[in-house]
Amino acid sequence: MLIDFFLKLKSHKLPVSIKEFLTLLEALQKGVIGSSFEDFYYLSRITLVKDKANFAKCHRAFPDLWRGVEAIPRHR
* Highest mean pLDDT, choosing among 13-22, 33-42, 65-74: 13-22
Higher pLDDT, residue 17 or 68: 17
Q: What is the pLDDT of residues 23-43, one digit of tens each?
A: 999 999 999 998 888 888 899
Intra-chain end-to-end CA distance of the chain, in Å: 15
Whole-number pLDDT of residue 54: 87
pLDDT bracket for residue 20 (50, 70, 90) = very high
CA separation for the pair 16, 29 (Å, rounded): 20
**pTM score above 0.85:** no
| DSSP per position, 13-65 | T----HHHHHHHHHHHHTT-S-SBHHHHHHHHHHHH--SGGGHHHHHHHHHHH
The answer on pLDDT for 52 being more than 80 is yes
